[in-house]
Amino acid sequence: MHPRNAHKQGYDFDKLINVTPSLKKFLIRTPAGKKSIDFSNADAVKCLNQALLKHHYKLNYWNISEEFLCPPVPGRADYIHALADLLKNDNQNKIVNNVRALDVGTGANLIYPILGEKIYRWSFTASDINPKALENAEDIRDKNNLTTKLVLQKDNEKYFHGVLEQDQTLHVTMCNPPFHDSEHSANKATQEKWQKLGKKPKNTLNFGGHSPELWCKGGEVLFIRKMIKESKHYAKQCVWFTSLVSKKDSLSSLKLALKKIGAVEVKVVRMTQGQKTSRFIAWSFQTHSERQAIYNTK
């Protein structure tokens, strides 16, 4: 994991149970005799998240219903830390202060604004197409006195239009796109995940999630390519546009789209959590000097 990630040493269940006693009932022992939880149990995963957010980030309240995606907190924190480094590399290797960020498709869990504000004091705008998800995110925001501005995206074909104001400038955008290209593909992946966990196949993911969070027509490639196309119209309003990319094979198509649209710089940043490797693609339409000028804007 990222060297600044609070979770790089794994889970300290004694400390987590101290702040969230309800986690204790979910504890199991691994074959090696270590404390863990059953990650196929949705209630256990949610309780673990609540404990992590309370212990490491002093969150007073966090809850989602089973229909929504329950994010793995350590991996989500890695994305935030890697974005901080992306900006730092443009800023004479100094952490950028007063960062203004946009989370495209924040979901009910509000995880990126939570982590960004708690770790680096970033200022967030967060959008979603689902009013019910935003209602839950608003509940989390208000009960924790967070500052995130929540915006309902009324056009599910748009990413920035209707969310960003005309004179609004950002340092970075981020997104965790739906990466399956059909409901059938999402369901197949679900079955395979349950089998890898050694459990009887079920119709639900252990991390939850509903259709718009898990799949869309064309999968992540079409989703991000449409984002790339629209981002050109906001080239002077944002330093870096970014999106997670779940499949390595998706990168070549995305890089070609960025070349055609005239991105000045493109980066692929790898992140490693245990045996899992993830990545995000980042692109900017601005030169290094132009980017630095925005960093120095209060």
Q: pLDDT per residue over 102-120, tens digit each?
A: 999 999 999 999 999 999 9
Average pLDDT, the chain: 88
Tell me what the mean pLDDT of segment 89-110 comes to: 94
- Residue 200 has a pLDDT of 55
Q: Are 149 and 103 in contact (CB under 8 A)?
A: no
Does residue 184 have a pLDDT over 60? no
Instruction: Tell me the domain boundaries of the chain.
Output: 67-295
- Residue 218 has a pLDDT of 61
- Residue 179 has a pLDDT of 61
Confidence of residue 267 (pLDDT cuts 50, 70, 90): very high
- Residue 207 has a pLDDT of 44
Does residue 180 have a pLDDT over 50? no
Q: Does domain 67-295 have CATH number 2.40.128.20?
A: no
Distances (CA, A) of 111 to 30, 33, 108, 260: 28, 31, 9, 33
- Residue 274 has a pLDDT of 79
Does residue 203 have a pLDDT over 60? no
Confidence of residue 196 (pLDDT cuts 50, 70, 90): low
Nearest-angstrom CA–CA distance, 48 and 46: 5
- Residue 185 has a pLDDT of 54
Tell me what the mean pLDDT of segment 117-125 comes to: 98
Poorest-pLDDT segment among 31-40, 53-62, 254-263: 31-40
Does residue 82 have a pLDDT over 60? yes
- Residue 204 has a pLDDT of 47
Over residues 39-60, the pLDDT tens digits come to 989 999 999 999 999 999 999 9
- Residue 205 has a pLDDT of 44
Does residue 22 have a pLDDT over 90? yes
Percent of the chain with pLDDT over 90: 77
- Residue 292 has a pLDDT of 80
Q: Give this prediction's pTM.
A: 0.89
Higher pLDDT, 191 or 69: 69
- Residue 115 has a pLDDT of 98
Higher pLDDT, 234 or 189: 234
Higher pLDDT, 195 or 167: 167
Does residue 186 have a pLDDT over 50? no
